[in-house]
Structure 1
Amino acid sequence: MRYRIGAWALTSWIVKIGKETPQHWGFARDDRFWDVREPGSFRKIEPGDNIFFWLSGSGFTSWVRATSSLYVIGAQSRPAHWIDVATGGYTHRFEFELVSEDVAHPATWGELQQAAGRNYAPPAPANPVAEPAAEAFLRARFGGHTDIAFTTVPVEYSPGDDMRDRAVRQITLRRGQARFRNSLLVAYGNTCAVTGSTVTSVLEAAHIDRYFGDHTNHVTNGLLLRSDIHTLFDLGVLTVSESRTVQLAPWLRDTEYADLHDQPLRVPSDPAGHPSAEALARHRQTCEWL
């Protein structure tokens, strides 16, 4: 069951870590993925879903947000470090980003059931959480986080607005588009389209046509960019040519960004996720130096 908070359709999950393998959370935190033997309910996990890891016999350990759906582990997949990886029989994987592992308010399974107003079965490998009260209870267990997924900031846009004047506002809003960012992380393989950086924590979702409604949150209207490149793109001093090469404003070509000029843009392997040529053309039109 999916429910809504504001404009977002959400599902949360409790994923169990076996008490015999408590080390697995540390491996998962470092690798940013979780492997499973049987797909089961894991097949329903979608990018943007909140996942709360529960260590059997101890309680909650962490809160993460899925950045991919479940997929089959292949020959090219990154190696896992599970202590039973040689005999584990892992077949599927989903990826995530860390929200918090600061368990400020520990809770028992019974307290979760009381908050939800229903009886949950003992933790299965993946338990969906369908009650908003239970979701709120789970979030409240954790400190040290900023919930970027549900920021609600009104954005007004009229055709012809000066994009440069809007850039500063866009820079502050970018982290509010969590699901859009997650779709780009998946499409671009967690890699900056311009620099090739794979440091997920500094990769951001850049709208090509400026954001003016949820209908623009489509992967073809976005680029996955390192934070500083995103800023340059929003300010209109970096753009993409018709032949999909990076173009820098003349005054940036003698800076540390010089090597990026005329370099090919990295695009998703799936052509359906390639950036819109029309949107890129409109972005170029805002760059007066070009």
Structure 2
Amino acid sequence: MTSWIVKIGKNTPEHWGFARDDQFWDVREPGSFKKIRPGEDVFFWLSGTGFQSWVRTTSSLYPIGIHARTAHWVDRDTGGYTHRFEFEVISDDVTDPATWSKLQDAAGRNYAPPAPANPVDEPSAEAFLRTRFGRGSDRTFESAGLPISYRYGDDLRERAKSEIVLRKGQSKFRDSLLAAYGSTCAVTGSTVTAVLEAAHIDRYYGEHTNHVTNGLLLRSDIHTLFDLRQFTIADDMTILLAPWLRDSEYAYLHGCTIRMPSDTHLRLNREALARHRESCDWA
């Protein structure tokens, strides 16, 4: 797969912080971005400074629809953004911001000055990019316990470079969902505990969002589809698949009713579900 260097404008360095929290990147013109595919590595480069982060794409570039999640860019209303791709953070623990000339030396070729999106195909250059980063993102989040109630709120995560939260680290949240759902996937009915994961409905915005009513116990592949907004849940608790999945191996799930905890106090937060539906451009 191709790797990419994506430029952050020197006049808007704060855009990386917003993108990290939003988990997507908006662009004005598709250009080279339209060649980006899911699973490819992207290295964000801040003009005049160097590398800022290493991420992996979870979607191709797609048009920003009228129901898309609102970005937090400082110029979101005037920037003329038309397209978006989504990603997950691999690491923003930069051990060496590097320079453009060092990258060229590693690749053994000249690169054009950083364009909005530069493809990198040389194995030596890709290796050089990866070794500019530590793996701070792999450190898991240590939960101190679950909150007594769920509330939607501001992002309470510390933005330290090496503190990127991974879902497998949230063991207490997962344990609470295993208990609430009887160790059964809410969508597929799978009881293979090893592949059951704790999914957030509202994205993780601090420990107050680690509440059972903001969670679903899902098989790992179903969790990925849910996070990628490939399916959502209607107000009557039936599953809505994205149109392009309705002819896939997941087609049988469309219209099915999800399983619910027997304890009514642990059932899904409907406001959070509504926000998830609103974030699905196709829904």
TM-score category by the smaller chain?
0.5 to 0.7
Alignment pair present for 1:197 and 2:196: no
Q: Could you list the per-position Cα deviations for residues 92-135 of structure 1 after superposition, in whole angstroms to 9, with x for gaps in the alignment? A: 11111111111012211111111111111100000000101111
Please, which moves more after superposition, 49-58 or 101-110?
101-110
Verify: 1:55 aligned to 2:46, yes or no.
Answer: yes
The 8 Å contact of residues 52 and 97 in structure 2, kept in 1 or not, is answered as no
> Does residue 129 of the first structure (1) align with residue 104 of the second (2)?
no
Structure 2: tracts of 5 or more residues without a match: 139-191, 206-214, 226-235, 254-283
Q: Secondary structure at the match of 2:75?
A: coil
Correspondence for 1:16 among 7, 20, 27: 7
Where does structure 1 differ by over 6 angstroms across 4 or more consecutive aligned residues? 200-205
Aligned partner of residue 247 in structure 2, secondary structure: helix
Alpha-carbon distance in 1 for matches of 2:65, 2:252:
32
- For 2:119 and 2:23, the matched residues in 1 are separated by 20
Q: How many residues align?
A: 183
SS class of match (1:29): helix
What amino acid does structure 2 have at the position aligned with 1:272? D
Equivalence map 1:134-145=2 (5 Å): 134-143=125-134, 144-145=136-137
Residues 79, 118 of structure 1: alpha-carbon distance in 2 compared, 3 angstrom cutoff = same
Deviation at 1:265, TM superposition (A): 4.3
TM-score of the two chains, using structure 1 as the length reference: 0.55
Shift of 1:136: 0.7
Q: Note the 1:78-93 alignment, pairs <5 A.
A: 78-93=69-84
Cα distance in 1, alignment partners of residues 90 and 240 from structure 2: 28
Whether 1:267 aligns to 2:241 is yes
Q: What's the % identity of the aligned pairs? A: 59
> Which residue of 61, 77, 91 maps to 1:100?
91
- Equivalent positions of 1:117-266 (< 5 A) are 117-143=108-134, 144-146=136-138, 171=195, 197-199=201-203, 206=219, 222-224=221-223, 264-265=238-239
Distance 1:138 1:27, change over 3 A: same
The verdict on how the C-alpha distance between 1:30 and 1:86 changes in structure 2, with shifts beyond 3 A counting, is same
Measured after TM superposition, the shift of residue 38 of structure 1 is: 0.8
Gaps of 5+ in 1: 1-9, 147-166, 176-190, 208-221, 227-261, 279-290
2:102 corresponds to:
111
**Cα offset for 1:273?**
4.2
- CA deviation digits over 1:57-94, x for unaligned, max 9? 00000011111110111110111222222221111111
User: Quick one: distance in 2 between partners of 1:66 and 1:203?
Assistant: 24
Contact 2:50–2:99, Cα closer than 8 Å, also in 1: yes
Checking the alignment, whether the CA contact within 8 Å between 1:67 and 1:96 is kept in structure 2 is yes
Aligned equivalent of 2:66: 75
Offset at residue 204 of structure 1 (A): 10
Larger Rg: 1
Residue 203 to residue 98, structure 1, CA distance change in 2 (3 Å): farther
Rate the CA distance shift 1:86–1:268 in 2: closer, same or farther, 3 A.
closer
Change (3 A) 1:204 1:100: farther
Q: 2:19 corresponds to which residue?
A: 28
* Aligned equivalents of 1:80, 1:120: Cα separation in 2: 31
Letter in 1 for 2:241: V
Query: Are 1:46 and 1:66, in contact at CA under 8 Å, matched by a contact in 2?
Result: yes
- How far residue 19 of structure 1 moved from its aligned partner, in angstroms, is 0.4
TM-superposed deviation, 1:225: 6.3
- Structure 1 residues 88 and 68: alpha-carbon distance in aligned structure 2, compared to 1, 3 A threshold: same
